């Protein structure tokens, strides 16, 4: 039986990972008493006694925690931004390519993608791979997320009894175009420039809808149907799948897949103006679900084991 330790188990991502693991019979989850949860020596001992360590920490704390791991047999799955473009770290999005999945299966260091980056890459990576769009493309992306993506502080703000009225409406952020997911969006897709990115947080707990609009002239050949064909072949499930016209009477809810660990991609619009859309849960395939899927691959288990699909 493999031993697993979650460093940062009290946070939003850590709690969801623990929830996905608690019914498993093939692993043993190591926990620390409350008084030792932030003790570096206790954490270090737990990490080095484990086969797999999940890091559910802020970036600086995650970078420090990696230095605690001295056991060469211990694999680290980091859910922070700290290592997503770092050399020697596998990128934890196995559906991007067979090579990406194989790298995860054999890695000792895995970086779980950012939630917005997951939505963007699920749409753009296959089109660059198929040479429908070029690496020089100047792309735009907007992404609507539930407030749980902001962690404990934002959750408290949105759920406060006497919260500011501004929280009732969607709020765009990342206005300076320096969002921390931009680096991986560019690097993993192989783009020459970062997209113009418009993230929006809204008054619902979890769920995400990411959209990349394309004009026909962005494409090197074909149109909307060629894009659909690429997605159909690329994403046949079980975790990521192409969905044909999943809208709700012309509307598309960003929290339709809340609580689940799958991701759906779809194509809307027409041959002149095309909308590429991915929907998933920012805490599912956008965080904890993706981390558990990576662990499954490391263990040689079915990738969907323990996931809610």
Task: Report if residue 89 sits inside a domain.
Answer: yes
Please calculate the CA angle 103-104-109 and round it to the nearest 5 degrees.
100
Tens-digit pLDDT profile for residues 120-167 = 999 999 999 999 999 999 999 999 999 999 999 999 999 999 999 999
- Taking a C-beta distance cutoff of 8 angstroms, is the pair 115, 145 a contact? yes
271 and 124 together in one domain = yes
Is position 155 within any domain?
yes
**Pairwise CA distance, residues 17 & 27, whole Å:** 13
pLDDT digits (tens, 9 = 90+) for 51-61: 999 999 999 99
* pLDDT confidence of residue 113: 98
276 and 127 share one domain: yes
Q: What is the mean pLDDT of residues 91-113?
A: 98
Are residues 202 and 74 both part of a single domain?
A: no
In a domain, 305, yes or no: no
**pLDDT at 38 (0 to 100):** 87
Tell me, yes or no, whether 309 lies in a domain.
no
pTM to 2 decimal places: 0.96
pLDDT, position 268: 97
Same domain, 121 and 101: no
Indicate whether 96 and 14 sit together in one domain: yes
Q: Residue 172: give its domain's CATH number.
A: 3.30.360.10
Q: How far is CA 135 from the centre of its chain?
A: 22
Q: What CA–CA distance (Å, rounded) separates 253 from 208?
A: 9
How does residue 279 score in pLDDT terms, banded at 50, 70 and 90?
A: very high
pLDDT score for 34: 85
Output the pLDDT for position 188. Answer: 98
In a domain, 149, yes or no: yes
Q: Are residues 49 and 180 in the same domain?
A: no
| Sequence-distant (≥ 6) Cβ neighbours of residue 118 within 8 angstroms | 93, 210, 263, 278, 280, 285, 286, 290
Structure confidence at residue 230 (pLDDT): 98
Instruction: Give the mean pLDDT of 1-19.
Output: 93
Does residue 307 lie in a domain region? no
pLDDT of residue 204: 97
For residues 241 and 128, membership in a common domain is answered with yes
pLDDT band at 263 (very low <50, low <70, confident <90, very high): very high
CA angle at residue 40 from 30 to 58, to 5 degrees? 85
Band of residue 271 on the pLDDT scale cut at 50, 70, 90: confident
Is residue 254 in some structural domain? yes
Same domain, 40 and 28: yes
| CB neighbours of residue 107 within 10 Å | 20
306 within some domain: no
Around Cβ 108, how many Cβ atoms within 10 Å? 16
* 47 plus 180 within the same structural domain: no
Q: Which domain CATH number covers 70?
A: 3.40.50.720
Confidence of residue 235 (pLDDT cuts 50, 70, 90): very high
Average of pLDDT values for 262-280?
97
Taking alpha carbons only, the member of 56, 49, 72, 62 closest to residue 3 is 49
- Specify the range with the lowest mean pLDDT, choosing from 63-67, 203-207, 268-272: 268-272
Query: What are 9's two structure tokens?
Result: 């188990």
> Given this model, what pLDDT does residue 124 score?
98
Task: Provide the 3-class DSSP secondary structure of residue 140.
Answer: strand
Helices and strands, number each (H, E), in the chain: 9, 13
Do 58 and 146 sit in the same domain of this protein?
no
* In contact, 3 and 300? CB cutoff 8 Å: no
Residue 87, classed as helix, strand or coil, is coil
pLDDT at 10 (0 to 100) = 84
- Number of structural domains found in the chain: 2
Q: What would you report as the CA-atom Rg of the chain, rounded to the nearest whole angstrom?
A: 19
pLDDT band at 101, cuts 50/70/90? very high
Same domain, 13 and 105: yes
Which structural domain, as residue segments, surrounds residue 32?
2-113+287-299
Residue 258 makes CB contacts below 8 A (sequence gap 6+) with: 146, 204, 205, 206, 207, 281
Catalytic pick among 115, 141, 198, 294: 115
* Catalytic residue list contains 198: no
- Residue 109: its H or E element: strand 109-111
Contact between 114 and 187 under an 8 Å Cβ cutoff? The reply is: no
Question: pLDDT at residue 104 above 90?
Answer: yes
Q: What is the mean pLDDT of residues 96-101?
A: 98
218-232: average pLDDT = 96
Q: Which residues of 111-136 are buried (b: 16+ CB within 10 A; e: fewer)?
A: bbbbbbbbbbbbbbbbbbebebbeee
Examine the domain organization and report whether 120 and 101 are in the same domain. Answer: no
């Amino acid at each position: 039986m493999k031993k697993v330790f979650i460093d940062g188990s009290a946070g939003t991502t850590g709690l969801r990972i623990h929830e996905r693991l608690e019914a498993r019979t093939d692993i043993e989850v190591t926990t620390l008493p409350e008084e030792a949860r932030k003790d570096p020596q206790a954490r270090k001992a737990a990490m080095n006694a484990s086969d797999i360590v999940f890091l559910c920490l802020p970036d600086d704390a995650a970078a420090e925690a990696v230095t605690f791991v001295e056991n060469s047999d211990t694999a680290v799955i980091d859910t922070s931004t700290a290592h997503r473009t770092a050399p020697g770290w596998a990128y934890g999005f196995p559906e991007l390519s067979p090579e990406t999945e194989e790298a995860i299966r054999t890695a000792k260091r895995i970086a779980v993608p950012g939630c917005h980056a997951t939505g963007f890459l699920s749409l753009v990576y296959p089109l660059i791979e198929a040479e429908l769009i070029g690496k020089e493309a100047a792309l735009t992306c907007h992404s609507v997320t539930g407030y749980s993506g902001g962690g404990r502080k934002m959750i408290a703000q949105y759920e406060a009894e006497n919260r500011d009225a501004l929280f009732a409406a969607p709020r765009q952020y990342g206005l300076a175009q320096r969002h921390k997911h931009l680096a991986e969006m560019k690097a993993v897709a192989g783009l020459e420039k970062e997209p113009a990115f418009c993230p929006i947080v809204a008054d619902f707990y979890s769920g995400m809808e990411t959209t990349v609009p394309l004009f026909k002239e962005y494409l090197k050949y074909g149109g909307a149907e060629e894009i659909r064909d690429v997605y159909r072949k690329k994403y046949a499930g079980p975790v990521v799948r192409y969905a044909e016209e999943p809208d709700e009477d012309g509307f598309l809810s960003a929290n339709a897949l809340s609580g689940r660990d799958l991701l759906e991609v779809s194509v809307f619009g027409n041959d002149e103006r095309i909308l590429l859309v991915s929907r998933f849960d920012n805490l599912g395939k956008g965080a904890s679900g993706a981390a558990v899927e990576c662990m499954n691959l490391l263990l040689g288990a079915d990738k969907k084991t323990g996931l809610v699909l």
